[in-house]
Amino acid sequence: MSKKNETASFMLRFTQKVWHDEQGENQVQWRGTIRHVQSGEEHRFVDFSEALSFIQESLSKLTLDLAEDKSPQEKDDILSKSYHFWKDFAMGYIDTLSNPLEQLNKFRKQIDQEVGQSLNPDTWKPSTKADAHNILLQLSQIQEQIQGLTNQMKSLENQLKSQS
């Protein structure tokens, strides 16, 4: 069984418009443009669901093109599996819209976990003694530079005090 892969890339661009309505209340509107990179096809949208529809249509077209030489039963199976992806994606999108604060907190927690892992000293062990030596040498040089700058700042502060 041969595998056939195809890439689909999309570029999103958002513009925000802020204004006061007749009652003087702040209004905000997001507008966007989505472009299918490979074909250059572009659509403007005000509702993000329109962008998602464009993505889904483009990927469905791609899926159908890839399944072109398949039997009707195989095409149905391929499309069914492709749409399963969109069902999962749509549920996540609905969750985000229904409770944006909860999603923001989940996102923040995920970022905190990633930052915590990246700052974990166990993940930053040098691979060789030479690497460790180079890092220590660079840190020493940075420390000397900081000390030099600190001395210069103190000198400037003293000059300013003496001129006052």
Average pLDDT, stretch 51-60? 85
Average the pLDDT over each of 2-16, 17-31, 80-94, 146-160 and give the range with the smallest value: 80-94
C-alpha 29/C-alpha 118 separation (Å) is 37
pLDDT of 94 > 70? The answer is: no
In angstroms, rounded to a whole number, what is the distance separating the alpha carbons of residues 63 and 74?
A: 12
pLDDT in tens, 102-136: 766 776 787 777 777 666 666 666 567 887 788 88
Average pLDDT over every residue of 143-151: 87
Going edge to edge, which strands form the sheet with 26-36? 10-20, 26-36, 42-45
**Is 41 a residue whose pLDDT tops 80?**
yes
What's the rounded Cα separation, in Å, for the pair 88 and 77? 17
pTM given for the model: 0.48
Who's near 17: CB < 8 A, 6+ residues apart?
28, 29, 30, 31
> In whole angstroms, what is the distance from residue 80 CA to residue 60 CA?
10
Q: How far apart are the first and last CA of the chain?
A: 85
* Residue 1, pLDDT score: 46
